[in-house]
Amino acid sequence: MREYLLTLCVTAAVTYLLTGPVRKFAIVAGAMPEIRARDVHREPTPRLGGIAMFFGLCAGLLVADNLDNLNGVFESSSEPQALLSGAALIWLIGVLDDKFEIDALIKLGGQMIAAGVMVMQGLTILWLPVPGVGTVSLTQWQGNLLTVALVLITINAVNFVDGLDGLAAGMVCIAAAAFFMYAYRIWYGYGLEAAAPATLFAAILMGMCLGFLPHNMHPARIFMGDSGSMLIGLVLAAGAISITGQVDPDAMNLFAGSERSAVHQTVPVYIPLLLPLTIIAVPAADLILAIVRRTWRGQSPFAADRGHLHHRLLEIGHSHSRAVLIMYFWSALIAFGALAYSVHSASMWIVLCIVALSAVGLVLLLLPRFTPRMPHWAEGVLPPRYRRGRHHAVTYGTDEADGAEEASGDSEASAEEREAAVGAGLHGATAIGGRSRHIEAREAGTPR
């Protein structure tokens, strides 16, 4: 465990220290695109944060290769080399996209090439556990096709969810933490050396995300861009492929010795093997909804819009930070809930806790719909959004200006609302000025 923690810390430190210089480089290189209609941020922000994350990945692999207990992973398996090759290709494609905005189909082709390179070096799915059937061995082309599909889904799921400051890095870090606990248990709990590469990948992925998050939290000073989102998506997929398709489930003593007795009442037995897929449940759901939504409208599945889950959270009234925390909550609930259920599938307390936390999550999700309104006597000590009305001036009627001031000061108001309120405030100020001049002219006895 200490060597995994050392690898994690080195990866995080290198990523964190390099992000500052990378930000300056991105500004000089002009990797600061104009604000688009679907963007949430209001100021041009440099991208290319994936450069620091990639060098953090390289540092983590280099340190692990020189540690006694982790060096065996590189000697007995070609998976670390396969990961580095695929990561380098996907990172280069992402850097080009961050700078030059390459076509979506070209990016998809690059993702397929990166996945194919990893498959050629041995990182592929060999078998799958099928409920009611047992362990099914895959042919070479079936395993390769399934591996490429899983890589593409994971990369694009993470890329789609990268829409708010700190969202993608935080969600992937949560998923990597749950995945590390699961893989570490398989490696040291069952003594299966085939789980060692996935454990190492998860530790390095946590370090990459933790090192980048301080620079990317709201308000973000730098974005990871496609060079970062596609990179962490590929690393997450590599760990999932390694442990799902190469660790023999029969060796985990999950089955009772024969294939017929192996078929328990389906789900509880297969939860540990499906965990790598549950950890990307929220990004994958966002990906599927985006494809269905865009296809239904007659658009390309790769056409960007403002219909993602995090955009909807902002639309119903959540602030930027609260929307990110809600997405964190659901990711952690699904990932760690599946992990806990895989360890103690017979315990009803785990199921009850998951149900109770889901109810809490729904309440938090719908909180803006039930914004409380306090009595008038308590309005003086409450934020403006909880007040029933506005304090009016005695003769000047400045309620429009107050509305503009409140909208501009409330972080949860949208840009359109702020502009409308400011316009109303200016109109009110013009009316006030005209009224004041009329009063002065009348008192002086001159026509206005």
The number of angstroms, rounded, from the C-alpha of 368 to the middle of its chain's C-alpha atoms is: 22
C-alpha to C-alpha distance for 68 and 78, rounded to whole angstroms: 17
Helix (H, G, I), strand (E, B) or coil at 330: helix
Q: 122: how many CB neighbours lie within 10 A of its CB?
A: 12
- 121 contact partners, CB below 8 Å, separation of at least 6: 78, 79, 81, 82, 85
For the chain, which residues make up each domain, given as ranges?
A: 2-368, 376-444
C-alpha to C-alpha distance for 178 and 198, rounded to whole angstroms: 12
Give pTM, 2 decimals.
Answer: 0.73
Q: 147: how many CB neighbours lie within 10 A of its CB?
A: 24
Place of tokens 């056409």: 303
State residue 130 phi and psi, 5-degree precision: -115, 120
C-alpha to C-alpha distance for 249 and 246, rounded to whole angstroms: 9
Q: 226: annotated binding-site residue? A: yes
C-alpha to C-alpha distance for 99 and 31, rounded to whole angstroms: 5
Tell me the residue type at 402. Answer: D
C-alpha to C-alpha distance for 445 and 181, rounded to whole angstroms: 85
| C-alpha angle 321-412-35 in degrees, rounded to nearest 5 | 80
- The tens place of each residue's pLDDT in the chain, 448 residues long, gives 889 999 999 999 999 999 999 999 999 988 876 665 555 556 778 889 999 999 999 999 999 999 988 988 898 888 999 999 999 999 999 999 998 888 888 999 999 999 999 999 989 888 776 656 667 788 889 889 989 998 998 898 888 778 788 888 998 999 899 889 888 888 887 777 878 899 999 999 999 999 999 999 888 889 998 999 999 999 999 988 888 766 666 665 554 444 444 333 334 445 445 665 666 667 677 777 777 877 887 777 666 666 666 667 777 767 777 888 888 888 888 888 888 877 776 678 888 888 899 888 888 777 766 655 556 666 666 666 555 554 433 333 434 334 433 333 443 344 444 444 444 444 444 444 444 444 444 444 444 4
Give yes or no for a contact between 237 and 150, defined as CB atoms under 8 angstroms apart: yes
- Take residue 140 and report the two structure tokens written for it: 């070479």
The number of angstroms, rounded, from the C-alpha of 89 to the middle of its chain's C-alpha atoms is: 22
C-alpha to C-alpha distance for 180 and 177, rounded to whole angstroms: 5
C-alpha to C-alpha distance for 282 and 171, rounded to whole angstroms: 9
Residue-level pLDDT at 7: 95
Place of tokens 């207990």: 69
State residue 103 phi and psi, 5-degree precision: -70, 150
Tell me the residue type at 382. Answer: L
Q: 296: how many CB neighbours lie within 10 A of its CB?
A: 8
Helix (H, G, I), strand (E, B) or coil at 128: strand
Bridge partners of 130, per DSSP, are: 134
Q: 159: annotated binding-site residue? A: yes
- Take residue 388 and report the two structure tokens written for it: 């029933």
Give yes or no for a contact between 175 and 336, defined as CB atoms under 8 angstroms apart: no
Q: 220: how many CB neighbours lie within 10 A of its CB?
A: 18
**DSSP assignment letter at 163:** -
